[in-house]
Structure 1
Amino acid sequence: MNFSRTLFPLTMLLLSGCVVGPDYQKPDTALPAKFSESKATSSESVALNPWWESFRDKRLNGLVHQGMAENLTVQQALERITAAEANVIVAGAGALPNVGLSADGNVSGQDGNFIRRSNPTTGASHSESKSINAGLSASWLIDFFGQYRRQREAANASLDAAYDDVNVARLAYLSDLVSSYVNARYYQEALALNRKNLVSRRETLKLTNEIKEAGAASSLDVLQAEGLVNQTLANLPALETGFLQSANHIATLLGVPASTITSSMTKGSAQPMPRYATRTGVPADLIRNRPDIRAAERRLQAATAQIGVAEADLYPSIELGGSIGAARNFNTKVGNLTSWSFGPSLSLPIFNGGALKAQVKIARSDAEQQYLAWKSTVLTAVEEVENAQSALIRDYQTVAAQRKVVDTFDQTLVLARESYRGGASTILDVLDAERNVADARLALASAIRQLARDYVALNVAIGGGAEIGGATVVVSK
């Protein structure tokens, strides 16, 4: 008897420490030692790096910081943290005792007429009964196999993923906003270049008319010069539309009326051009710096914990329950009646058609899918960095070469006009030179825009600035 009294508590203690299901281990995948066009040097955390300041554009800096708190997508992601925090409380509440209180009161009565058989006199009757009942109940499901502990583990991992999702939304906002700003400034530069070309081509048209009046040019020459003027005029509306659409999108990202952004950017500014290089680090740094990779890993941990939740349903469960009840009937001489009960209840799954085992298979399959999703996210991140870095390196080369093209065609146009005035060449030589200059300048503006966009893509790909203005990440327990 003494032996059983000692063994039973020990057995209960051992069982209470048992947690079924696999323990989570961080995933691993083969990654290259370095990116193909950078040195194999690990970089520090870039999550707090304000890389957009490399453009040295105060207006852009102001828009970025304004939108950190105003972007609706980021606000939605922040709100999902609230739901995830509540889920942690729900998951932990299952392992705690459940206590409830109930009470009710009753008043019943009877009214009516009756006739006594012994005395034919009609009489009336009335009766009334009053009672109050109250009860207190408590139950506690003993977590022998760690079901609630696994649920709490899954909920905490999902909460961490919600925090990382905020940073994912913030990165998307940064990419969209800065790229839209780059586009808006490009359209303004293209408009300025086309207006400059318009002035030049009108001068050529005027010169052609003067030479025609002197008898050295034909009507065909005038029509060709006039055609280039009209062609330039036709290019302006599309560029204006491009600027307005980019400015409107910036306003949407900031959650403000479009007119407030359009009016503040109408004055124009130079095209954004990054002044600093970006250190990409090594591929392994992405696992630490990219919030989408961290979120995918947290979801894998949550899915792994759900395997333990499903496996716990295969085992018996014991619930301790008890209740205390009190009742009083005011029509009786007995004042109070109290009842109580206490005892364990055992639930043992015997036959369920294989549903519980199927739930375990589903949980394992979900975890495997989350692992594959994590691995895909890692490989995609490496690809994005490789692509952006390769493009950015060549963008610098393109811009440098295009600047030389513009200088060459500028000199060609000056010589073509002088030669035309002297009668040594035709108007076609001047028009061709003007067309080449206009195309080269627009090509340079387009190359600068592409360089800036690829600079944005590279910094976003390495997770730069994801945690600026963000909430503190909660560590799972």
Structure 2
Amino acid sequence: MNFTRTLFPLSMLLLSGCVVGPDYQKPDTALPVKFSESKAASAENVTLNPWWESFRDRRLNDLVYQGLAENLTVRQAMERIEAAEANVIVAGAGSLPSIGASAAGSVSGQDGSYLRRSPGGGGGHSESKSMNAGLSASWLLDFFGQYRRSKEAANASLDAAYDDVNVARLAYLSDLVSSYVNARYYQEALALNRKNLQSRRETLKLTNEIKEAGAASSLDVLQSEGLVNQTLADLPALETGFHQSANHIATLLGVPASTITSSLIKGSAQPMPRYATRTGIPADLIRNRPDIRAAERRLHALTAQIGVAESQLYPSIELGGSIGVARNFNAVTGSLSSWSFGPSLSLPIFNGGALKAQVKIARSEAEQQYLTWKSTVLNAVEEVENAQTALIRDGQTVAALRKVVQSYEQTLNLARESYRGGASTILDVLDAERNVASARLSLAAAIRQLARDYVALNVAIGGGSEIGATTIASK
């Protein structure tokens, strides 16, 4: 009676074809309604926004699109999609019938004087030939959704692989544009130092003229020479910075270092963003950031793996059958055929708690991935907040430094005129020279930082992560 009570519910469960394990629910987390320094207005789909074009630099645009199809990190991520697609096929294959065929043949014989000679005088030799062939089939009935959950997990992992390509593409955009900004900064710094060198040489010439007139000392001349030599000493480091940035750009494009250096030597203005960036609201990041989407898809995959682990706790039924044919060419009967068909039931009775432990492991891994997803979301919000704050403040710094440069340039002109007239010393001129040089370089560095802030903000909101996806996927 107890056996009947147990068997009947089990048979109903098998016939219902249920799927064990939790059904996936998209995660949610509390986010502010807006970023601290922007309006509470949702942004459009920024994943197709070519934000780097706001620099209005054709050379930069050409480099970006050239590298979208050639960057090795992006191409590696594309290859991982191939493996993920194959895993989907593997996961789904288990729920389909499996059919196999086999065939074998053999020839055997004996030689020896003790063998009875045949009536025809064949001598001591005996030979036998045989052949057999078979066809087998099996089908594991997926009553508890083991393979359905496996395929669900594989499809979610495939989606994550596609998002990983966008993550790689976004990292490429950040690295390439930032490296280009650095290269142009070093060129601007070189130009400014050469300009400062020319100015300081003029000051040295002026000092020598005044010394010849008896109004300046040898100390004044030595101080002017020292400033000239200091400027000459600063040039090599800036040239090294330019070449390193150009070499890194070449590597990002998938070509040997220094390949594109010659095309960048012709200077260009420092990149300056021309348009403001609409950051949207924090909730937009869940849609636009590929790393957040990838983390969410991996959570889906691990949630489905809970069902795979739970399905191992229940019985499994497999339908199997075979057909075989055997023929012995020396036998009177000729051939023999056989067949078999029937189900087999497997019950997990005692396994030391291993199967239940696997379920706990699967649930723990899913919970860990949820925490990873939540951490990814919060980090994304922080990145946007930091980049936006830096972009606003560094923009104010650039505006202030432009005025500082103008003031120091006027001060230098006045100091030189005063020095010619004998109303001031060479130290006043040298101080003015230093102030002008320092202010110009500070302005160039601030412009570089402003451009890098603009890059960081657009990358933080996921801008441009899907540009080039169709083109690359078709290759």
**Scaled by the length of structure 1, what TM-score is found?**
0.95
Q: Distance in 1 between matches of 2:79 and 2:136?
A: 36
Aligned residue for 1:3? none
In 2 relative to 1, CA 207–285 (structure 1 residues): closer, same or farther, beyond 3 Å?
A: same
**3-state SS of paired residue (1:184):** helix
User: AA paired with 2:89?
Assistant: I
User: AA paired with 1:229?
Assistant: V
Aligned residue for 2:445? 446
Alignment of 1:302-341 (within 5 A): 302-341=301-340
Deviations 1:131-177 (A, max 9, x none): 00000000000001000000000000000000000000000000000
Q: Distance in 2 between matches of 1:11 and 1:160?
A: 36
2:72 corresponds to 1:72:
yes
**3-state SS of paired residue (2:331):** coil
Q: Distance in 2 between matches of 1:258 and 1:60?
A: 17
2:258 corresponds to 1:276:
no
Partners of 2:115 and 2:124 within 8 A in 1: no
Q: Distance in 2 between matches of 1:426 and 1:270?
A: 36
In 2 relative to 1, CA 473–374 (structure 1 residues): closer, same or farther, beyond 3 Å?
A: farther
**Cα deviation, residue 81, structure 1:** 0.1
User: AA paired with 1:349?
Assistant: P
Deviations 1:266-297 (A, max 9, x none): 01100000000000000000000000000000
**3-state SS of paired residue (1:258):** coil
2:144 corresponds to 1:142:
no
Q: Distance in 1 between matches of 2:472 and 2:214?
A: 80
**Cα deviation, residue 257, structure 1:** 2.4
**3-state SS of paired residue (1:403):** helix
**Cα deviation, residue 473, structure 1:** 13
Aligned residue for 1:367? 366
User: AA paired with 1:348?
Assistant: L
**3-state SS of paired residue (1:70):** coil
**3-state SS of paired residue (1:41):** coil
In 2 relative to 1, CA 294–472 (structure 1 residues): closer, same or farther, beyond 3 Å?
A: farther
2:403 corresponds to 1:404:
yes
Partners of 1:47 and 1:289 within 8 A in 2: yes
Q: Distance in 2 between matches of 1:336 and 1:58?
A: 80
In 2 relative to 1, CA 257–180 (structure 1 residues): closer, same or farther, beyond 3 Å?
A: same
Q: Distance in 2 between matches of 1:338 and 1:452?
A: 80
2:29 corresponds to 1:29:
yes
Aligned residue for 1:423? 422
**3-state SS of paired residue (1:241):** helix
Aligned residue for 2:348? 349
Partners of 1:16 and 1:142 within 8 A in 2: no
User: AA paired with 2:32?
Assistant: P
**Cα deviation, residue 471, structure 1:** 4.4
**Cα deviation, residue 396, structure 1:** 0.9
Q: How many corresponding residue pairs? A: 463
Partners of 1:15 and 1:145 within 8 A in 2: no
Q: Distance in 2 between matches of 1:340 and 1:50?
A: 66
Partners of 2:243 and 2:258 within 8 A in 1: no
Where does structure 1 differ by over 4 angstroms across 4 or more consecutive aligned residues? 10-14, 471-474
Q: Distance in 2 between matches of 1:290 and 1:151?
A: 26
Q: CA RMSD in A?
A: 1.9
In 2 relative to 1, CA 267–113 (structure 1 residues): closer, same or farther, beyond 3 Å?
A: same
User: AA paired with 1:152?
Assistant: K
**3-state SS of paired residue (2:138):** strand
Q: Distance in 1 between matches of 2:470 and 2:315?
A: 42
Partners of 1:16 and 1:143 within 8 A in 2: no
2:86 corresponds to 1:91:
no
**3-state SS of paired residue (1:82):** helix
Q: Distance in 1 between matches of 2:290 and 2:111?
A: 75
Deviations 1:304-345 (A, max 9, x none): 000000000000000000000001110012122100000000
Aligned residue for 2:227? 228
Deviations 1:222-259 (A, max 9, x none): 00000000000000000000000000000000011223
Q: Distance in 2 between matches of 1:278 and 1:470?
A: 23
Deviations 1:352-405 (A, max 9, x none): 000000000000000000000000000000000000000000111000000000
Q: Distance in 1 between matches of 2:414 and 2:195?
A: 19
Q: Distance in 2 between matches of 1:185 and 1:261?
A: 14
Deviations 1:23-75 (A, max 9, x none): 00000000000000000000111000000000000000000000000000000
Aligned residue for 2:375? 376
Unaligned runs of 5+ residues in structure 2 are 1-6, 117-121
**3-state SS of paired residue (1:439):** helix
Q: Distance in 2 between matches of 1:143 and 1:473?
A: 38
Alignment of 1:196-215 (within 5 A): 196-215=195-214
Partners of 2:318 and 2:343 within 8 A in 1: yes
Q: Distance in 1 between matches of 2:157 and 2:26?
A: 15
Q: Distance in 1 between matches of 2:231 and 2:462?
A: 42
User: AA paired with 1:111?
Assistant: D
User: AA paired with 1:266?
Assistant: I
Partners of 1:164 and 1:291 within 8 A in 2: yes
Partners of 2:243 and 2:261 within 8 A in 1: yes
**Cα deviation, residue 13, structure 1:** 8.6
Deviations 1:421-443 (A, max 9, x none): 00000000000000000000000
In 2 relative to 1, CA 440–39 (structure 1 residues): closer, same or farther, beyond 3 Å?
A: same
Deviations 1:84-125 (A, max 9, x none): 000000000000000000000010000011289xxxxxx941
Aligned residue for 2:47? 47
Partners of 1:163 and 1:471 within 8 A in 2: no
**3-state SS of paired residue (2:38):** coil
Partners of 2:247 and 2:259 within 8 A in 1: no
Partners of 2:69 and 2:472 within 8 A in 1: no
User: AA paired with 2:454?
Assistant: Y
Q: Distance in 1 between matches of 2:201 and 2:472?
A: 62
Aligned residue for 2:290? 291
**Scaled by the length of structure 2, what TM-score is found?**
0.95
Partners of 1:185 and 1:271 within 8 A in 2: yes
Q: Distance in 1 between matches of 2:115 and 2:247?
A: 91
Partners of 1:134 and 1:326 within 8 A in 2: yes
In 2 relative to 1, CA 141–397 (structure 1 residues): closer, same or farther, beyond 3 Å?
A: same
2:87 corresponds to 1:110:
no
2:150 corresponds to 1:151:
yes
